[in-house]
Amino acid sequence: MREASPRSEHILWRHLNSLPYFRAMVRAVEDSFYQGLELPEPVLDLGSGDGHFASRTFTRPLTVGLDPWWGPLRESRGLKAYRLLVQADGASMPFADGAFASAVSNSVLEHIPHVESVLAETARVLRPGGRFIFCVPNHRFTQLLLGRRTLQKVGLPAAAESYARLFNRISRHQHCDDRSTWEKRLHTAGFEVLDAWDYFDADALGRMEAGHALGLPALVSKKLFGRWVLAPWRANLFFAYLIARKVFRQPYSDQGVYSFYITCKAG
C-alpha cells in the first residue's frame, strides 16, 4: 500500500464548499492525486461534464472539454475550466490523429458501455508517449457496500445482492472491473500502464453511501437554486468536514473500491 503523504486540506475545503460531502470526499482525494502530475498541453478532458472537477483541480483552463451531452457543457461555460467545449461521443472525436499531448478522464469510463471504442479513439487523438490519466470504481465497489455487507450479516443474501445491483444502477455504472481487465483493455487500445493504485476503503464507501441516503436537501437545492451547497461557510460545513477528513488524509488502500491509472500511449 502507498504511504499517505501530507495533503493540503485546502483541497478538501474547495470541494466541500460546492458539493455534497459524499461527493466532495472522493473528488478531493482525486484532486490531490493530480497535484504535481505533468499534463503537457494541449490537454483533453474526456467526459468533462459540468466542468466542476476541472475548475477546482487545475490551476489553468484545460484545452478541450468533451462530453456527449449539451446540458452539462452549457453548465460548464460559466466555470471557464476549458478553452474550448466540444459536444461529441468519445468513440468518435472530431480531432486529428495525435492532436493532444495528454488526456484526463475523471470517473467517466465506468459509465460508458462501449468503453473499448472510446479507449481506442483516445489513443488515436493522443501523441505517441502522451499521458492518459483516469480513475474508475473497481470490482470491490459492489462487494464492499455497507448495505450489502449488513444484509449479508443478518442472513439475507438475496436482499444483499439486490441492494448492490440497485446501488450500482443508481450510480449508472456499466463497468466495475479489476486491474487485469483494465490492463487488457488498455493494452488492446495501445496504452501502457505507468502506475496505478487503489483508494477509498470500505469505511470511506460506507460514509459516501450514507451521504446518498441523506442527500435529498442538496439535490433540492441544486434543482431550485443551481447550487449543491447554499451556505458554503466553514462553520456550516464543519460536520461534513469531520466525516470527510479521515478519508482525505488516508486515501490509499489495498482494498480500495476505486483505482487511479497513469498510462501513456505506446510508441
Whether a cis peptide bond, with omega within 30° of 0, leads into 42 is yes
pLDDT score for 216: 67
Over residues 97-116, the mean pLDDT reads 98
pLDDT score for 31: 97
Distance (Å, rounded) from C-alpha 86 to C-alpha 220?
A: 29
H helices of 78-189, where?
Answer: 115-125, 140-143, 146-153, 157-170, 179-189
Q: Is residue 180 part of a domain?
A: yes
pLDDT score for 5: 54
4: pLDDT strictly greater than 70: no
The DSSP bridge partners found for residue 66 are: 46, 86
Distance (Å, rounded) from C-alpha 261 to C-alpha 37?
A: 12
Q: Is residue 2 part of a domain?
A: no
- Interval 25-73: pLDDT, tens: 999 999 999 998 999 999 999 999 999 999 999 999 999 999 999 999 9
Q: Is residue 1 part of a domain?
A: no
pLDDT score for 232: 80
Comparing 75-84, 111-120, 220-229, the range with the smallest average pLDDT is 220-229
- Interval 111-167: pLDDT, tens: 999 999 999 999 999 999 999 999 999 999 999 999 999 999 999 999 999 999 999
> Which among 20, 4, 8, 15 is positioned nearest to 220, based on CA atoms?
20
For the chain, the C-alpha Rg in angstroms (whole number) is 18
226: pLDDT strictly greater than 80: no
Count of the separate structural domains present in the chain:
1
Chain-centroid distance, C-alpha 207: 17
Q: Is residue 153 part of a domain?
A: yes
Over residues 253-260, the mean pLDDT reads 97
Q: Is residue 4 part of a domain?
A: no
93: pLDDT strictly greater than 60: yes
pLDDT score for 117: 98
91: pLDDT strictly greater than 60: yes
What range defines the domain where residue 256 resides?
A: 9-265
Residues 6+ apart with CB under 8 A from 176: 110, 136, 137, 138, 139, 141, 142, 168
CATH of the domain at 192: 3.40.50.150
pLDDT score for 235: 84
Q: Is residue 176 part of a domain?
A: yes
> Which among 1, 2, 24 is positioned nearest to 14, based on CA atoms?
24
With beta carbons less than 8 A apart as the criterion, state whether 189 and 183 touch.
Answer: no
